[in-house]
Structures are given as structure tokens and as C-alpha cells.
Chains A and B, each alone.
Chain A
Amino acid sequence: MTNANLPRRSWIQRWHVKGFGWTALMVLLLIGSSKMTDVNVGMFFSNLDQFADLIVRMSNPTWDYLSVIIQPLIETIQMAILGTTIGTIFAIPFALMAAGNLVHNKFLRGFDRLVLDLVRTLPDLLLAAIFVAIFGIGSTAGVITLAIFSFGMISKLFYEVIETIDMGPLEAMESVGASKITIIWYAVLPQIMNQFVSYFLYTLEINVRASTVLGYLGAGGIGVYLQRSLNEFNYGATAVIILATIVVVLIIDGISNHLRRVLL
């Protein structure tokens, strides 16, 4: 044998004990969870006729409704853009402060990350409910919700990008006698700008989708109309809203995917 010099694989490696073990564990956990939470998969199949019934009712979209929802659809997109932008503006300084390669003060960095972690644990639906209670029904509550949600998400994505940059240019700028802000401007931002824009667009995509749901809680946008049509059993209108939302989300996804491809 030509491979005589190779070491022998152990018994565990030869029979893939680890792989099988983990798979068995996962299956056991799934079965256990469904038992304990009383999830009945059979129910999904036995209620399929309800599903079909809904589809049939929605199969006659009242296209006239389209003229009513154009304005709220635009409002939804505007909410997403505003919320994402505001969140990003606040996220940038926090992301810079959270990056281990820029801030060597462990206390400052730790505090900053704690704040970011806390913000991220707040679900957007909870935020929306709170802000609707504070600001009343309307898009202000939606924009603030999306801003906070984007802030938490973007600051995390951003500081992880910052931590992967090449430190060489920073050293060069330091040796030139540049101040901290100048170093960030000249040596950090050019390295991360493309990824920043890419993550911004990614968050915008998510926010367009999220803002349709937020409207459901009264936070403005298309969601308000979605809820209304469902409550009125006006399934023809619901169908139009869903289809229009899908189209808008697809367009936004397409644009942002294209931009990200061009940028990276």
C-alpha cells in the first residue's frame, strides 16, 4: 500500500460516531419539544381545507382597491428608509466604539456592547406596541421602531466589519501624526464603506418587510390596511395588498441585491 505511512483512523472517526450522535440528539430534542409544547403536526394537515378555502376567497382580487393602497405602500417604503437611515446614523459612532481594534479601553467597549446587546434583545413588535401607545397610531411610531431596530442590528454588523479591517493603513496614518478622527476618516472608512452600504441595504430590505407587519399594530403604512381588510373579511382586498407588497419587496430586494453586487 502506498498510504502505509498514514496514521490509522481511530474507531470513532471510522464509524462517524460524532455525526450520528449529534443527529440522533437533534431528532430526540425535536420530538421532545413537540411533545412538551403539544404541537400537533397532524392538525396542520387536517386543517388544510381551511387553507384552501381562504385561497379560494382570495382568488378574486378586487383590483380597484389598488388605487387606495398605493399611498400607504409608498408610506411603508418611506418609513423603512427613514427608520433605517436614522438608525444607521446613530449606529456608526456606537459601532466604532465597540470595535476592539479601535478602542482599547475595555470598560468603554464593554459598556458600549452591553447597550447594543440590550437594544437588540427588544423585539420590534414590542417596540412598535410601546411607541404606538406613546405617539398614537401613525407612522411616527413605526419610524422610531424601525430606527431602534436598525440601530441594534447595524451597529453589530458594522463593528464586526470594522474588526476585520487591515490595520496597516492605520499604523501608517498614526506614524504620520494624524489625530484619531483623521485616522478613522482616512484609514478606516475607505476600507469599510462598501460593506457599510451593503449592510444598510440589507437592513432596508428587512425593514420594508417588517414595516408591513408593524402597520398591523397601528404603526402606519400598508399594515393598517391589511388588518382592516382582514377584519372586514374583505379577502379580495387582502389579496391585492399581499400581491402588491410582494411586488414591492421583490423590487426593493432586486435593487439592493444589484447594488450590493456592484459594490462588493
Chain B
Amino acid sequence: MVSKAKSVVLYGLDGILVEVETDVAKGEEKFDIVGLPDTAVKESKDRVRSAIKNTSGTFPYTSITVNLAPADVKKEGANLDLPIAVALLKALNNKLIRDVGSTVIVGELSLEGALRPVSGILPITLFAKKQGFKNILLPAENAKEASLVDGINILAAEDLKKVIAYLSGEEIAPYPFSEFTADTDVEYPNDLKYVKGQYAVKRALEVAVSGGHNMLMIGAPGSGKTMLAKCIPSIIPDMTFEEALETTAIHSVYGSLDKREGVVRMRPFVTPHHTATNIALVGGGQSVKPGLISLAHNGVLYLDEMPEYTRQTLECLRQPLEDRVITVSRAKGNVKYPADFMLVTSMNPCPCGNYGSKVLECRCSESQIRKYRAKISGPLLDRIDIQVHVDNVEYDKLVSKEQEESSAVVRRRVNKARLVQRERFKNDGILCNAQMGEKELAKYCVLSENDEKLLKRSFEALGMSARARSRILKVARTIADLDYSENIGRKHLLEAIGYRNSGFEN
């Protein structure tokens, strides 16, 4: 007798519907799985056998064939354990009358029959809903993550026993849909209120975060670049539901999702070490997993000591910075992962770090400094909107008791500025100022005649390249948004010019 169950496996973030067919026949005892299973799927027969035996007491001595359709797609992972078990149970026991034709079933089994959580539940649930399924049967620990999706019944089970009860007609109460709320009242370990002075950098951070602008901090060792960067999560704008869904889906596939939390509420802040390989950064590997830049989707990718990264690694970032998506191509096929992150980088002014210091002597030769800076290519610099210097803070200031503005206050301003942007771009398909293209620039960044002249003059006076124009306009737009100004005013423009990316002259 043949019976069927439906499940979903993921390829990248895309779901593939898998039909699990089991056939039980008399004959020599065997248990075969066909339909391009990978090792984890092949091994699932042993887990299924033990789980069923330990739950219902027996496992029949019959000839069992399991087919995973479509037969030409490679299936990976352990989330097919449960659908195989369900299909098999239904084939063995005709008392299990529940129709599972409109239910997607996923889950990993333990030997004693308990259900283990699987990764990628959110994209699977979204896919199931899109395909018109009414229910999804999954391990209880995954329920919270799945419950972000509205319009599909989440049936959570702790173990196979409960699944068998469900199949024989008992009901499982659907897990309630949980409304997404951004985390607002979190105590961040790094708060701007602990950073003394550095007003210029703090302001630049605020502007960068508000508009999603890529940023470069240049400063001597110990000037506080890393500390300032670590404050970014505390001022970063709240995520919208759509953003949270996208980000959670990637983290879910990557396997880095907190199962109890079930959703990524805070914008990710990813800090790869400079020894990270290109693949680790952009994604790839055997099962074409997302890379760190995709983990930083809708969040921040922070590269500390940028010139320490290999040039090749840095160049890998260029295309995703432009397209906000990374396509990982392998012989198996192409996988697209979103990678819309804000790039924050820091570097020393020279290898020893003291170039330009008023107190310490720089020990580097001119050519050393040149080589150090040449590691960062022009095209990459072109994608950095804001460049700011971080000074060493004087001792007196460091120990002063003066109260600094806290991150919460800054964050409120940032949130408002983001709201303005979201409202403005709601028909343009973008979210923040940094994403503006030429079309949006022409539409939203109109300068008065006088300001246009000022900008032209400043290009001549400061020796900027013409490519700097769009960067300055984008930043000026953000500064105007922070000021609730509909148009870009002179002061906004002037401040934006101050953050210009001057490259590395001298």
C-alpha cells in the first residue's frame, strides 16, 4: 500500500515541495530511500525505524520503499524524518485516517521519538503558505519562529506520539500567530553615553545610521574606533516586519537563529575577522550556505582594520554593495541571497598608526603608508559615503563626569529620520537614502540655484571628483531628514560636504 506526505526542503532561501511516498510490501525485510537523498536523508531510515519502534512498540518486518519526489532534486538535511515517518505510519496502519494532503510536515526525529527543531523553518512556512497549504506540522521548538507567518495553521508536536494521536483524529490546537514587535527596551552593553567627547564622529555615526550610508573611520590605535562601532547596534533604527522576516529567514537557513526567540528582532551586527575566507563572507560551500554579508542583511557589516583584509576579500564586497544581493553560483545551480547591509569600516592612518598624531612619532616610510592605503581600492572607496577621522581623546576628558547623550536619545532621532525616508520612498521600492539611484536623486535631492553653485565651487576648491556628487547629495538628504526639512538646505549641504570621502591624498 502506498501513502503520501508532503514536505519542503530549501535550496538557498527557496523552497522545493517534496512529496514523500512510501510503499509497504510483503517480502524480504528492507528499508530503502530513493530520490536523490543526501547522507543525512539516507540515515533518516535508522532514526525513523527507532523512533517508531520506541513510540509504538513494534516495527514491522516488511519491505519498505520510500521515494522522494521530484526525483531529480538533491534533498538535504534531516527535516524529512517526520514526513517519512508519517507516510510510513499511514501506510502501515489504516486507523490513521487523518488526511495530510494539505499539510506540510517537517521535523527531525530522535531515536526515542522526540521531535528536534530544524533550521530554515521561517522560509519553509512562508513557502508553504504561498503554495496554499492550510497546515504545517512541525517540532514544538520551531513553532515560535513559524508563528510569524499569518494565514497558516501551525501545528506543533513535541514527539511522534502526539503526531500519531493527531493522525488518528485528535486535534492539535494551532499555535497562535505572534505579532512582530521590534526590541526597543534593550540594555546595550555599548552605549554612546559611555563615549566621552568625539562629537564629530558621533554625529557622523548618527547620520550614517539614519540613511544607511557606508562609512569609514580613520584613526590612531586606541582612539576608540572599535568602541564607537560597537555602539552602532544601540542607535540603529528598528526593523520593520518585512525586514525582520527577510533577516530571520537567512539566519534560519544559516542555522544561527535563536530557537527560543524564533525571530531576529535586532538588526544584525556582523564583525568578520580579517582572516575570514571569501566563501565565508559571500556564501557558498557544499550546501551553498549564506555568507556573513547575508547574515548582515538589513544590518551592519563591520570590518575593523580594513587594510588587514586581503584585497580579494574586499573586492568581493563590491558587487553586493552595488546590487544589495549576492548570487552564489555553483555547479549545482545559482542561489541568490539578499545582502543589503550597511558597511562600516575602520582603519589606521598608517601601519604603525601614528601618522598625523600630534604626540607620537610615525615610524613608517612614505612608501609603506602608500602601500597600506593602496590596499583599499578606488571602486570600494567610491561606495563609502561618509569618511570621518577619529581623534585621540585627551585624558582629562576621559575622566570627566559630564553626562553624554545616551544612545536611546540618538536612536529616537534615527528612527524618526528612517520613518521619513520610508514614507518618501514607499513607491520607489527602496528603504533609505543610501539606496537612492540617479532617478531618486533627481527627484528628491533638488538643490536651490545658489546651493548648486556652492556645490560646484566646493568641488573646485576641495578638488573632489565628480563621482563624489551623488554621495554628497545622498548624505545631505539624510541630514535634511534628521532636521525634518523637506528640501536640502545650505547647512545640510555644507555638513554633507564635510563628510566627503576625500580618498587618501597626501
**B is bound to A:** no
* B residues with CB within 8 A of A: none
* A residues with CB within 8 A of B: none
